[in-house]
Structure 1
Amino acid sequence: MWQHRRARRDGGEAAPGQVRFDAADWAWEFLRRNADYAADWRRSVPRHPPCLTLMDGTRLLQLPRRFPLAEKWGLLAFADPVLAAREAPVFWHARALKRAVRLRALPPREGDKEPPNLLADFRVERHAVIDADGRVLVLLKGRGVHVAVQLHDLRVLTRRFRPAFELERLSDLADQTELLKRLQRFMVSGTAPPETSVFGGDERLRQALLALDESLNGKTYRQIATTIFGAKMVAEDWQGPSQFLKDRTRRLVAKGTELMKGGYRDLLG
């Protein structure tokens, strides 16, 4: 099947030194294997929305209209399922991302202790989208995590500003504090340790993705287990009294299938 042929370029098999996937990347890897999504993408116009790169490296997509069929999948516009995460920007809808920082840009003023900011001060990958209503959403991606930032002003994309962060409800304080700490770390150069995935670690996601790929290709549970755990472990444990390896393989196939069919949204929370 087409999904498996394109699945080998995922972040679960990244070599040392490559950029680590964040939860949004993993969500895309599972979604792009969904045959119904691929069918909707093939019917979409345009299939490849024009994306610009600003001088500071920010990838920018401006949408002339809404794309309801893409929104059904949690996206503002369709992304090509042939392309793995990080090969092309994927523009998630704010509703799918669930948690976002709301930033209001104030004009710089003399006498401030801190200099005004630029979007490029966040020294990570930046994907910005202007939707059909002129609203701006920026997804900042780096160090194994992402932060969605909703902007009130288009000028923030290219001009200096004083950031003012908005809090709608006191109940949002804990989540917003966590996101703001991530933003602060994004402004620090150098290497920082990657943060923990929301799904219990990238290794489990990688195994679920491999199990899904093998299942989509019609492999048996034993063949799937051999791909994930190696022939030696399978030869030693498969026919033994313990059902642990068989049960674990079944659970990984079930989890991969669940994530492909809609559970990928939980990774974005």
Structure 2
Amino acid sequence: MSHHRRARRDAGEAASGQVCFDAADWAWEFLRRNADYAADWRRSVPRRLPCLALTDGTQLLRLPRRFPQAEKWGLLAFSDPAVAARDAPVLWHARALKRVARLKALPAREGDEEPPNVLADFKVERHAVIDADGQPLVLLKGRGIHVAVELHDLPVLTRRFRPVFELERLSELAAQTELLKRLQRFMVKETAPPETSFLGADERLRQALLALDESMNGKTYRQIATAIFGAKMVADEWQGPSQFLKDRTRRLVAKGTDLMRGGYRDLLG
């Protein structure tokens, strides 16, 4: 299967609910189509770093050094652009993610009403990264949302702890409260439909991604519109007095191109 056919499949499945993408997944889908990113990845050494699985299932990656070229794209380390967001972890840098929960682990106290926590209490996908300075970051993903947690202490990765979440400034209160609510939901097994990533934007992002793929594949605007909206709608409206469908298709191509060239960072909450 070609890159573009696979990309169209991935985008279509995400929007239809077969695959649940969060905002960070969508950001990766646009970034991995960037030819300059792919060239930097090909020049990187090593291209792939091995992950270890902790006993609780958390995937752990220890970075031997910083990767400035990857950081340029908002990543801690390079991810293979041929691999879709649902098939491999993408290790976003905390600075790129904008909103990060900060956790300080304290020892359990006798008489506490709640038992101490472990990472496995978060019943979602967990990827931990220890950067070159020994700073751990845990990326939690599930139910169409993601949360990044900066840890002060390495032992948190394998030991029980009493969590204390830090707030650097009062202006962070609303954003940090939302992150903590997400973390709380991660601690409960849920069977409800996943939360929409943000403002119901998945359909618009899917269309922009498809428009980008078709454009990169050399298709005309009409062919792009047919791939997105269907042959009947294009046959009915393309030659009509209204320019709505043509304008919408052009905007989708422009939006997809902008997201690929750097706008993907705006998707990272």
With the shorter chain as reference, the TM-score category is over 0.9
Taking the aligned partners of 2:152 and 2:134, their CA distance within structure 1 comes to 9
Cross-structure match for 1:195 = 195
Cross-structure match for 1:57 = 57
TM-score (normalizing by structure 1): 0.96
Paired residues of 1:12 and 1:202 also in contact (CA < 8 A): no
Deviating more after overlay: 192-201 vs 33-42? 192-201
Cross-structure match for 1:162 = 162
Cross-structure match for 1:131 = 131
Paired residues of 1:3 and 1:33 also in contact (CA < 8 A): no
Q: Counterpart of 2:91 in structure 1: which amino acid?
A: F
Paired residues of 2:53 and 2:60 also in contact (CA < 8 A): yes
Cα gap change, 1:15 to 1:237, in 2 (>3 Å): closer
Cα gap change, 1:202 to 1:85, in 2 (>3 Å): same
Paired residues of 1:211 and 1:224 also in contact (CA < 8 A): yes
Equivalent runs, 1:17-166 vs 2, <5 Å? 18-166=18-166
Secondary structure of the corresponding residue to residue 265 of structure 1? helix
2:23 pairs with 1:4: no
Deviation at 1:9, TM superposition (A): 4.7
Deviation at 1:193, TM superposition (A): 3.4
Secondary structure of the corresponding residue to residue 209 of structure 1? helix
Cross-structure match for 1:243 = 243
Taking the aligned partners of 2:146 and 2:60, their CA distance within structure 1 comes to 17
Q: Counterpart of 2:228 in structure 1: which amino acid?
A: I
Deviation at 1:7, TM superposition (A): 1.3
Deviation at 1:17, TM superposition (A): 6.5
Secondary structure of the corresponding residue to residue 257 of structure 1? helix
Deviation at 1:60, TM superposition (A): 1.1
Deviation at 1:194, TM superposition (A): 2.4
How well do the aligned residues superpose, as a CA RMSD in angstroms? 1.5
Question: Aligned residues: percent identity?
Answer: 84
Q: Counterpart of 2:245 in structure 1: which amino acid?
A: L
Structure 1, unmatched stretches of 5+, are: none
Paired residues of 2:15 and 2:202 also in contact (CA < 8 A): no
Cross-structure match for 1:211 = 211
Secondary structure of the corresponding residue to residue 261 of structure 2? helix
**Offset from partner CA, 1:118-174 (integer Å, 9 cap, x none):** 101111111110000000111111111111100001111111111000000011000
Cα gap change, 1:17 to 1:98, in 2 (>3 Å): closer
Paired residues of 1:211 and 1:228 also in contact (CA < 8 A): yes
Taking the aligned partners of 2:35 and 2:19, their CA distance within structure 1 comes to 27
Deviating more after overlay: 12-21 vs 92-101? 12-21
TM-score (normalizing by structure 2): 0.96
Deviating more after overlay: 183-192 vs 194-203? 194-203
Structure 2, unmatched stretches of 5+, are: none
Cα gap change, 1:199 to 1:214, in 2 (>3 Å): farther
Taking the aligned partners of 2:15 and 2:259, their CA distance within structure 1 comes to 24
Secondary structure of the corresponding residue to residue 10 of structure 1? helix
Paired residues of 2:11 and 2:210 also in contact (CA < 8 A): no
Cα gap change, 1:251 to 1:136, in 2 (>3 Å): same
